[in-house]
Amino acid sequence: MPGTIRKLRAILAVLFVALPASAQDGALVFATVERPPFSFTQNGRDAGFSIDLMRAIAADLGQEVRFRRVAGFGEMLDLVERAEVDGAIANISITSEREQRLDFSQPIFKSGLKIMLHEVDAAPSVLAMILSRRLLVVVFGGLGVLAAAGMLMWVLERKRQPYFDRPLSQAFFPSFWWALNLVVNGGFEERMPRSIPGRLFGVTLVVSSLFVVSVFVANITAALTVDAIRSSITSINDLDGKRVGTTAGSTAASYLAARDIGFNGYESFEALVEAFEEGELDAVLFDGPILDYYVATRAPAGTRTLDRIFRSEDFGIALPEGSPLREPINRSLLRLREDGTYRRLITRWFGTAG
């Protein structure tokens, strides 16, 4: 009998160690990761939509809950898979691949992947294009060349051609106007140079005028369209060849890989946005609500997200396979939706009654 008792004690000890942390101190333990506005630290306290929702669920179940914040998304899911925590909550997309190793609650949030860019508007305004530095350089550069050509002709012709027979203080605009008419009309028509150097220079201007005008027009066209080219990302296909970033192991990473679009994977969202802010990335593909929150709260000026959702997703609460908490959590979610708690949390964190 003593031997049997010792065996039972050993078995109970093993079971006690194997139980999730909640069974040891009476509180549920849920892993989470930095993903504002779903989960983040504010004034040293866990905050966010997912955090508040989990607290409401725990209160509805008559339980305490504490959060174990980890650095990486993959690390968070691994803790759940090994049943080292009771579950995980943040912005966890419900996928078939994850369902093979985890259980999920019913969806807690409908989301989708969006693209974030270094731009303010999808298409630049006409005024912005006209006042762009590139266009102003081209225009004033061309005017400067014409002014220089006119003044050179004044030097060559001021003692031969009556039109140029005027003092320096009065010569600038007439000389510029002569050069402008020459380039636009492609010929002398009137005020033909009379000196040999003047005629040679004039013929050179006539011959080169077509080339000069073509180059000038081409540069203006390029200046007017450069912003449109920079704003050419309107779909997933436009990401091909661009510097794209997302978090490693995310559904966005899987989505890009399935379409053979190269990307840089970052271990955390903070590392991702840091690379974006440093100009290392042209675009970011990630969960829309998180990108929208980032743009609204702390993104650099000129950052925007495309309105389009490129892949719809449902977020859920991740649980170890066979977790006894799944049904209680699902029933609690239904009650929170029915009594208005869920709607109030949505309104608080996203500004809509969704």
227-257 pLDDT per residue, tens: 555 556 888 998 999 999 999 989 999 999 9
The fraction of the chain above a pLDDT of 70, given in percent, is 78
> Which of 161-165, 212-216, 334-338 has the least mean pLDDT?
212-216
- Residues 267-278 pLDDT 10s: 999 999 999 999
Note the pLDDT of residue 154: 76
- Rank 14-23, 96-105, 120-129, 206-215 by mean pLDDT and report only the highest: 96-105
CB 286 within 8 A of CB 272: yes
> Which of 51-55, 84-88, 127-131, 170-174 has the least mean pLDDT?
127-131
- Residues 154-194 pLDDT 10s: 787 777 777 777 887 777 887 777 777 777 666 656 677 76
List domains and CATH numbers for the chain.
11-108+316-350 (3.40.190.10), 126-230 (1.10.287.70), 236-311 (3.40.190.10)
> Which of 22-26, 138-142, 212-216 has the least mean pLDDT?
22-26
The CB-side HSE value for 253 (13 A sphere, CA atoms) comes to: 14
Distance CA 197, CA 193 (A): 9
Distance CA 327, CA 310 (A): 31
> Which of 43-47, 194-198, 260-264 has the least mean pLDDT?
194-198
Q: Which stretches does DSSP call E strand in the chain?
A: 27-33, 40-42, 45-47, 64-70, 87-88, 103-104, 109-117, 244-247, 264-266, 283-287, 304-305, 311-315, 318-319
- Residues 271-309 pLDDT 10s: 999 999 999 999 999 999 999 999 999 999 889 999 999
pLDDT tier at 219 (50, 70, 90 boundaries)?
Answer: low
Strands 109-117 and 64-70: unpaired
Average pLDDT of the chain, as a whole number: 83
Note the pLDDT of residue 28: 97
Nearest of 308, 131, 123 to residue 225 by alpha carbon: 123
Is 0.75 surpassed by the pTM of this model?
Answer: no
Q: Write the CB contacts of 76 (distance below 8 Å, at least 6 apart in sequence).
A: 31, 32, 33, 70, 88, 90, 318
Given a cut of 80, is residue 96 above it in pLDDT? yes
